[in-house]
Structure 1
Amino acid sequence: MDAISRAGSIDAASESDEFGDDEPLDEPVEGEDDELETIADAAFELLAERQEIVGAAYPFSVDGSLLTADDGAVTSPYSFLAALTHFGPLFDGTLEGSSLFERLSAAALVEYLGGPASVRSFNFGFPRPETLRSFRQAIDDLCEKMGEGGGDAGRMKASDMKDAGLDLAAWVPFGDGRLNQLSVFGQCAAGQNWRSKITELQPSHFCRSWMLDPPALSPLAAFFVPRQIGEPNWEIDARHERQILFDRLRIARLLGDLDEELAERCASWTAAAIG
């Protein structure tokens, strides 16, 4: 897909929408030429909006009635997010897509809070590395790294827990070893049922339930989705109290130079998804 004309966007709507989305632009339309032209105009208005918001991280160029893929577009983080939205995280029968999305989300959150020089992060989501197989081990490790929380409280049965809604955490330490620091707990939702999860993670409740001594300053919540949340839904979804919303546009805009291993795995997943 090097370039798509305005007329071509009607017959290849999923291409003009970068692998598709859950927005009505992908639905087949029957009608007169003026109706088709209206749909094409709407599609290119959406693409232009994405280009403006994402900026240099947007891997396509929109020029009037033409959409052009930049060099390396298919290997870009934006294209991974678009492919993940369209094909779903389980298209290959593994959890690879979800795991990569959690890592990208953590990288975006770190950048948002100030960058890796001053921000620390922790990937909590299931499945975990071999060294952190159990839920309780992950709680202990998170608390140790944050310098708050006191470790696993042992109050509740954890044998059937995976991540209890927590996929990642990031915090901004002062470096003085004392309590009270800004922290954010995040949940990622890559599937079609994402909206049902938007208020699932409640950081204060999570800390009271699982930590021996919850952080002095309760963490904020963040919610990450690989799709674009458009109007009017954004006005509704963005108003949940103490929750920061990250959709595809925000995540892609925030991502700078990725870890080489992460970038290669995302590019490989995208290539396999789009064939």
Structure 2
Amino acid sequence: MSDAYTPSPRADKIADWLEVAAIREDRGLGAAAQRELAVAAGVREIDLDLGRNTMVRRAAVLGSAYPFRTGSGIAAAPDVADFPWASMLLMSAESPMRLVIDLPRSAAMFEQITACALVHLYGGGTRSVRFGWPSDIGRPREFPDAVRWLAADMGVAIGSSYRPPYAKDGGVDVVAWRPFPDGRSGFPVTLVQCTLERDYAHKAGDVDVRVWAGWLRLDVDPTTALAVPEVVPAGEAWNALAARTVVLDRIRLASLIREETRMGYPLAGVRSWTASTVDAMRSR
């Protein structure tokens, strides 16, 4: 078995379907129960095996960050709402709750998940901030003021380029950086675009590094990243994105979030939303 997690689009879709079923049923799903659900949903036995195997691979990659048991049966963790994986699953394009959730609110919470994950992007000492608007952390509304606020938080000077007041976030929803103890300039920075869009490939180019170089005076060009709540499959879809930006999909984001962060205050609102969404799905 390869160390790389390289799911196919079909494997991903069936694995997500099994995860949603395990959450919705709120009980362990043995082989017979899985087959019964598969027949009702028109899922073939061969695809059922593919989905189960993909869940096993996800569990191997994520360990305690994966909220499903994949042994003799499939079951969601009793505290499944506490896991960012479940939050992102319910926000994803194929989620049965997609048509009933508040998408702007969900998008803001996905940005919060991304910001919490990126605190660990560059190891100890990494900082991250949700730059998207509307803000719940005190970011000024007007874009020129927001850039000045961000520069002060990062400890860098603002650039001389014109900052349009009508801009909301300049394509950047989360910023992560890792200052060094010497306090000097020239440290790694990542500018992240987050999206819940079903077709997200075009979002890979939303962050223009050249424009941001005129807004923030950075000695080193920043890295860009695209964060999505999906698991991006291997092959053409992955290669097209990875050639243009760093891909932060559900697997990578969940792997970055430590358990103490997951249970802590930064994601309390996300946990509450996920719990209420799970309850709503189970009552449908």
Same fold (TM over 0.5): yes
Distance 1:40 1:202 in 2: 42
2:185 matched to 1:189?
Answer: no
Distance 2:36 2:89 in 1: 19
Residue 34 of structure 2: aligned partner: 9
Deviation of residue 87 (structure 1)? 5.4
Deviation of residue 181 (structure 1)? 1.0
Residue 74 of structure 1: aligned partner: 81
2:262 matched to 1:262?
Answer: no
Given that 2:144 and 2:165 are in contact with CA atoms closer than 8 Å, whether structure 1 keeps it comes out as: yes
Query: What are the Cα deviations for residues 56-107 of structure 1, in whole angstroms up to 9, with x where unaligned?
Result: 111111015x112223123321111111112577844363221121111112
Deviation of residue 166 (structure 1)? 0.3
Distance 1:175 1:190 in 2: 36
Distance 1:219 1:102 in 2: 19
**What's the TM-score once normalised by structure 2's chain length?**
0.78
User: Alignment partner of 1:3: what SS?
Assistant: coil
Distance 1:70 1:46 in 2: 18
Ranges in structure 1 where 5+ consecutive residues have no aligned partner: 14-26, 31-35
Q: Aligned residues: percent identity?
A: 24
Given that 2:173 and 2:194 are in contact with CA atoms closer than 8 Å, whether structure 1 keeps it comes out as: yes
Distance 2:169 2:99 in 1: 18
**What's the TM-score once normalised by structure 1's chain length?**
0.80
Query: What are the Cα deviations for residues 193-242 of structure 1, in whole angstroms up to 9, with x where unaligned?
Result: 3222122213333223x34xx3110111111111111222464145324x
Alignment equivalent of 1:147, drawn from 141, 155, 173 = 155
Alignment equivalent of 1:122, drawn from 106, 124, 129 = 129
Distance 1:205 1:163 in 2: 12
User: Alignment partner of 1:71: what SS?
Assistant: coil
Q: Which has the higher strand share?
A: 1
Residue 248 of structure 1: aligned partner: 250
Deviation of residue 114 (structure 1)? 0.6
Residue 19 of structure 1: aligned partner: none
Given that 1:204 and 1:219 are in contact with CA atoms closer than 8 Å, whether structure 2 keeps it comes out as: no
When residues 105 and 89 of structure 1 are mapped into structure 2, their CA distance, relative to the original with a 3 A threshold, is farther
- Structure 1 stretches of 4+ with a deviation exceeding 4 A read 87-90
Residue 16 of structure 1: aligned partner: none
User: Alignment partner of 1:143: what SS?
Assistant: helix
Given that 1:141 and 1:151 are in contact with CA atoms closer than 8 Å, whether structure 2 keeps it comes out as: no
Given that 1:136 and 1:152 are in contact with CA atoms closer than 8 Å, whether structure 2 keeps it comes out as: no
Distance 2:200 2:31 in 1: 31
Alignment equivalent of 1:49, drawn from 38, 41, 57 = 57
Distance 2:142 2:193 in 1: 19
Residue 18 of structure 2: aligned partner: none
Query: What are the Cα deviations for residues 2-56 of structure 1, in whole angstroms up to 9, with x where unaligned?
Result: 212334335546xxxxxxxxxxxxx9537xxxxx221211110111111111111
Residue 242 of structure 2: aligned partner: 239
Query: What are the Cα deviations for residues 154-207 of structure 1, in whole angstroms up to 9, with x where unaligned?
Result: 525332x11121011111112333221111111111231322212221333322
When residues 39 and 136 of structure 1 are mapped into structure 2, their CA distance, relative to the original with a 3 A threshold, is same
Residue 42 of structure 2: aligned partner: 29
Given that 2:126 and 2:178 are in contact with CA atoms closer than 8 Å, whether structure 1 keeps it comes out as: yes
User: Alignment partner of 1:111: what SS?
Assistant: coil
